[in-house]
Amino acid sequence: MGFWKSLFGGEQPVSEEERKNAEEKKFDLLKYDGVKALRTRQADYAERYFREALKLKEDLEVRDYLSQALLQQGNLEGALAELKIIAAAVPGQLNVLSQAAHVAYMLEDYAEMKALCEQALTVDGDDAMANYQMAQAVMGQGDMVSGIARLTKAIAVDERLGDARLLRAKTLVAMGDLKGADEDVKWLMEKVQPNEDVVLMAARVQTALGNVDEAIMLYGQVIDLNPFNIDAYRERGQLKYDQGDKQGAEEDMQKVLELNPDAMSNVSGDYQAEGIEQKIMRRYSNLNPLGI
């Protein structure tokens, strides 16, 4: 039957407009199915749909969705590549550059992150997030002084950028400026809803200042906020041990081992014949009391 239709012109040729309409419908269907798969955390299927859609038509929204699907799968390099394509197609979009910089940060590719932040700062040198991310980039490369300057500018633009204050406090502790770090964490504790990261940093600052009782109290607050925070138990246990509270230190270390049985995997030796005090002393000997 098909032969006769072909011979006598029974089949009508498809026009260019009809072909384009069919491709557009197929594109829309692939995009819809991809978004649906992405929202149900089926990232591998979403990636396939989006890649097929891009074969039919270049579409920046689909590339953005594709970057999200790749992130869900842990493919950071692929996600960064898609975001850079979008950034090149629409220069000056700060939100796209910020997303790309964040992925570069997760990759610990600080040179790439710095380049992306430089593009953002060219667009708006006073953008708080761009300055904050530039601080992360230069600090990743070991330039703490420039990083502090960038964080200070970010905070001056947006004083409620808590992440910038938290990073500045952590960096100031490492640089020995305990007064500056204390000011930042006190501001955060007063102005921002307390969260475990802020309270943990406050405890570390008080530890560095030698205010042991206050530090122990703050570590307790961290544990109240998150009973699974290993750092809080470990660092509080170190303080208790230094204060002579061997039982309290042992209890905290036992909690560390419950939450992370491999925490002492780097400590060799048979503890069976040791007393409690010797066990605690050897366990804490390999730990950094500030956790930084």
Q: What integer is the mean pLDDT of 253-265?
A: 82
Instruction: Copy the structure tokens of residue 102.
Output: 């964040």
What average pLDDT does the chain have? Answer: 88
Burial status of residue 139 (CB atoms within 10 A of its CB: 0-12, 13-18, 19 or more): buried
Phi-psi group of 162: left, alpha or beta (phi > 0 → left; psi -120 to 50 → alpha; rest → beta) = alpha
Cα torsion 84, 88, 92, 95: sign? negative
Q: What is the pLDDT of residue 289?
A: 45
196 has a pLDDT exceeding 90: yes
Q: What is the pLDDT of residue 14?
A: 66
Q: Between 291 and 57, whose confidence is greater?
A: 57
Tell me the per-residue pLDDT of 23-82, one tens digit each, with 9 for 90 and over: 899 999 999 999 999 999 999 999 999 999 999 999 999 999 999 999 999 999 999 999
pLDDT band at 16 (very low <50, low <70, confident <90, very high): confident
Rounded Cα gap, residues 162 and 127, in angstroms: 15
Tell me the per-residue pLDDT of 145-163, one tens digit each, with 9 for 90 and over: 999 999 999 999 999 999 9
Identify the CA nearest to 201 among candidates 241, 161, 174, 238. Answer: 174
Instruction: Copy the structure tokens of residue 155.
Output: 């905070």
Q: What integer is the mean pLDDT of 205-227?
A: 96
Q: Between 109 and 1, whose confidence is greater?
A: 109
Q: What is the pLDDT of residue 13?
A: 67
Q: What is the pLDDT of residue 262?
A: 75
Lowest mean per-residue pLDDT among 3-17, 47-61, 172-186: 3-17
Rounded Cα gap, residues 164 and 171, in angstroms: 10
